[in-house]
Amino acid sequence: MTKLIPSAVAAATAVLSFNALAQSPAAAPVDPNTFLNQFESSFGKFEGFRRSGAKGICATGEFVGTADARALSMASAFSGKPVPVVVRFSVGGANPKAPDNAKSQRNMALQFDLPGGEQWQMGNISAPVFGASTPQQFFGRLASLQPDPATKAADPAKVKAFADANPEVLLQGKYYASQPVPASFGSVNYWGVHAFGFVNASGSKQYGKWIFEPAAGVQGLTDDEAKAKGPSFLFDDLRQRVSEGKVAFYFNLELAQADDRIDNATVPLPEGRKKVKLGLLKITSVAEDGGGPCLAITFNPMMLPKGVEPSADPVLAARAAPYAIGLGRRVTEGPKQ
Ligand code: HEM
């Protein structure tokens, strides 16, 4: 994984982990409604759409776990029998018309529908790091990006002042800038960015960070190819590739070692950690535009199966409530995507 991270970013994360350590663990929680209001003030309010990852498409898939996964976790997702999965691919940001041909975030959100009504939900992004180490820092970053009413643009001095004081907020964007525009939703890596604990039948717990890697390999566009594709090609591309049976991802877990940071989504695990193949996710169908089984659900990353536990990463726990409030707002408005 880490060979994909520019060494400058990797070096910066090592230094920046000191900043994260220096932050007060007692910082006041951000009210989830205040979070949602800030998303709307900073990026606009698009009624009915997700306030983050607005431009998306539903798909369905099937996951089969490996024996190696069963050795790490008792989660029924890894039984080796096929598990149905609700999938949502999206382009990052609040704008439902975000261009597909920009060097920006792609997302893959998953809901594993497990035996007995159990569910496992997650939202994965196309970078190995998130843009903030705490919910307070994420909120501060969003606030710094709020447009000034007079200029209708963010105040560059405010943006710079916040980023200078919180340099890890730039790491995620630097990663996207260093990568080509993804050729397809099906041809880019998606990271979970948080650590999770995998607990097996004998009760031993192994922390790790996961990554979904396209079975057919990563594929990017040159700048000229991206320009020629235009702003809206990802949905048709996905339909085409899925109809040919070409979209699948290995679900891989990088295993943390004793002194690794596992409570900070801006710090990837060190290079060279052992990687275990947990299984294969095949995308089997794509829904019509604007509808499908992912439209009126949210993907709460704290919705975990027995055998997978959250780490102490404060951003992970802080996601649950804003996702629920976000779902409430857009369902009330009439859900769209
Ligand atoms: C405190 C931190 C965060 C807040 C407040 C936040 C907020 C949100 C909100 C409000 C949504 C829309 C939810 C909905 O309407 O269903 C969303 C979607 C999403 N977020 Fe976050 N987020 C946070 C951190 C993260 C992190 C660390 C990741 C990286 C893995 C992430 C990945 C995603 C993805 C992939 C989606 C789209 C999910 C979908 O397709 O439904 N978020 N986020």
pLDDT at residue 109 is higher than 70? yes
Instruction: Judge if the beta carbon of residue 87 lies within 6 A of ligand 1.
Output: no
When pLDDT is averaged across residues 143-155 and rounded to a whole number, the result is 97
Q: Which of 22-31, 253-262, 301-310 has the lowest mean pLDDT?
A: 22-31
Instruction: Judge if the beta carbon of residue 138 lies within 6 A of ligand 1.
Output: yes
Q: Where are the domains of the chain?
A: 2-333
pLDDT of residue 135: 98
Q: Please, which contacts does 222-227 make with residues 24 or more away whose CB atoms are closer than 8 Å?
A: 222/180, 223/181, 225/181, 225/183, 226/101, 226/102, 226/180, 226/181, 227/101
Q: What is the pLDDT of residues 134-144, one digit of tens each?
A: 999 999 999 99
pLDDT at residue 4 is higher than 70? no
pLDDT of residue 27: 79
Average pLDDT over all residues of the chain: 94
- SS3 assignment, position 37: helix
Q: Which atom of ligand 1 is nearest to the CA of 297?
A: 16
When pLDDT is averaged across residues 307-335 and rounded to a whole number, the result is 98
Q: Name the burial class of residue 177, with classes exposed (0-12), middle (13-18) and buried (19+) by CB atoms within 10 angstroms of its CB.
A: exposed
Q: What is the pLDDT of residues 58-101, one digit of tens each?
A: 999 999 999 999 999 999 999 999 999 999 999 999 999 999 99
Return the best residue to mutate from 190, 323, 325, 331 for the ligand 1 pocket (most ligand atoms within 8 A of CB): 323
- SS3 assignment, position 144: helix
| Residues in the chain, total | 337
Strands 106-113 and 181-182: unpaired
Confidence of residue 26 (pLDDT cuts 50, 70, 90): low
Q: What is the pLDDT of residues 195-252, one digit of tens each?
A: 999 999 999 999 999 999 999 999 999 999 999 999 999 999 999 999 999 999 999 9
pLDDT at residue 312 is higher than 60? yes
pLDDT of residue 272: 97
The answer to whether the beta carbons of residues 23 and 134 sit under 8 Å apart is yes
Q: Which atom of ligand 1 is nearest to the CA of 327?
A: 15
Return the best residue to mutate from 42, 51, 52, 145 for the ligand 1 pocket (most ligand atoms within 8 A of CB): 52
Buried b (16+ CB within 10 A) or exposed e, 283-320: bbebbeeeebbbbebbbbbebbbebbeebebbbbbbbb
Q: Which atom of ligand 1 is nearest to the CA of 135?
A: 1
**Ligand 1: residue whose CA is nearest its atom 17:** 52
Taken in order 336, 60, 125, 311, the sign of the CA dihedral is positive
CATH number of 2-333: 2.40.180.10
**Ligand 1: residue whose CA is nearest its atom 3:** 319
The answer to whether the beta carbons of residues 309 and 205 sit under 8 Å apart is yes
pLDDT of residue 74: 98
Cα–ligand 1 centroid distance for 74 (angstroms): 27
Question: Both tokens of residue 128?
Answer: 């190995």
Instruction: Judge if the beta carbon of residue 38 lies within 6 A of ligand 1.
Output: no
Instruction: Judge if the beta carbon of residue 91 lies within 6 A of ligand 1.
Output: no
